[in-house]
Amino acid sequence: MEILSVSKSIESLDTPIAVLLYEDDQSNLSYLGDLQQEVKMLMQAENFKGKEDSVAKINLIKNQKVVTIYLGGLGKKEKVSLDNFRRTTALIIKRAKRDKVKDLLIYAGERLSEEVSKAIVEGAILGDYTFDKYKTKNNEEEKGKISKIELYGGDERGITVGKILAQAQRFVRDLVNEPGNVINPITLAEIAKKLAEEYHLECRIYDEKEIQEMGMMALWSVGKGSATPPRFIHLTYRPEGEPKDRIVFVGKGLTFDSGGLNIKTGDYMRTMKMDKAGACTVLGILKAVAELKLPVEVHGVIGAAENMPSGTAYRPDDIIRAMNGKTIEIDNTDAEGRVTLADALSYASNLEPSRIIDLATLTGACVVALGEYTAGLFTNDDEFGDEFLKISKDTGERLWKLPMDDKKLREKIKKGDGDVLNSGGRYGGAITAAMFLEEFVKEGIKWIHLDIAGPAYFKEEFGYYSKGATGFGLRTCVEYIIRKYS
């Protein structure tokens, strides 16, 4: 999809027009010139008032030509956030695609800021996404694609950055949506290699023998039940000149999770291809950071494994030594993500960054606590966490900070025969999982854990999300680097 900034009068247009309107503020209709009175009448007939997430289509005749106008509601002007622009644009794009529109002009005001331009572009590209790779298509379906969007008064940098972030998020969606017979630990490592070659990243892949030699017995234990052995992936982006900081992103990379010997039921095993969402998001972050040429040294670390039941699978009661020397007693083999992350966080800590951010589809408990649309944020540094939360309000990626200071909960993961148990029980499960992870982060490193189990994968589409993988967390992570260091 081509997206460019334009400044065209309505008289020169031969494409459909999308106008973004505030509730009870119709000033943007002035762009329509002598059509605006007729549009206002039709809006009244349709009872369209510009309410949040509302879309209407109006067809008019002008100079013996049909003029198609899409109206998108932003909600009340004093309450509009950047995400309103993002969502409304996505909803218009979805409607225009159904109408087999090829080109579209979007009008949201005379001169748009960088941030508004970026949000509109993100909404357009994300709203255009579908995962239909494995569907047999006919010619009519192939025609239903938007090829060009013209953004009236769009800011050039906002358009450029918006494209990069949204395309990186679509890249993540594609990877997460791929089934386990396509992406396994070995093929995920190959994808990381190709990404490194394309964007001039450093890449180191460790095989199952090297994983054991490095003392990553936690990752190895989870992966050894599968016929496909685990892989450990380390990508590095180095900026030109002296880096302003060093940050490590760690992703949970369970390419499929059956639950292991504590096997999941069929309903809960379905969609477990999405258990690699954190790892795929880390790959997308590295892609975006490299394209934006950000002035920070960024590492992406992934422990990739399949959690499968077999005669070689790890067991409840096993005691395993992680890379940092701590021992883990296995209470439940279906709490495997945190076990693989123990080694990944230990490795990340050895890189001596100032900050580590991990992303993981870690616990159903977080979904119970916060619902499907909000990720849990846990941190050992409140200032770092609050900075992240503030940015998420602009990106529209809902986060909620959960506490890490309950000493009684922490005791629950300390009661086994090893240094730490991999499950603290049902109650407060998202918190005890985060406390487990903190055991493998070196003291002095600022750390955020994002439990994205809810918003990583949706079963129905809404806003700029399609059914399936979302790429949640990517834009907030990259925006954090942009705003803090650029």
What are the distances in angstroms from CA 424 to CA 172, 189, 314, 436, 479?
31, 32, 19, 9, 34
Separation of alpha carbons 56 and 241, rounded Å? 50
Known catalytic residue: 8? no
Known catalytic residue: 231? no
What are the distances in angstroms from CA 262 to CA 200, 354, 426?
41, 37, 15
Residue 379, phi then psi, degrees to nearest 5: -150, 155
Residue 328, phi then psi, degrees to nearest 5: -120, 125
Q: Which of 86, 173, 338, 412 is catalytic?
A: 338
Separation of alpha carbons 267 and 239, rounded Å? 45
Edge-first strand listing for the sheet containing 327-329: 319-321, 327-329, 420-421
**Cα atoms in the 13 Å half-sphere on the side-chain side of 444:** 5
Contacts of residue 76, Cβ cutoff 8 Å, sequence gap at least 6: 22, 23, 24, 52
Separation of alpha carbons 48 and 24, rounded Å? 10
Q: Which of 264, 321, 442, 484 is catalytic?
A: 264
Dihedral angle of Cα 304, 308, 313, 314, to the nearest 10 degrees: 60
- CA-closest candidate to residue 289, choices 478, 160, 157: 478
- The conformation of residue 12, written as its DSSP 8-state character, comes to G
Handedness of CA 51, 89, 464, 373 (dihedral sign): negative
Active site residues: 264, 338
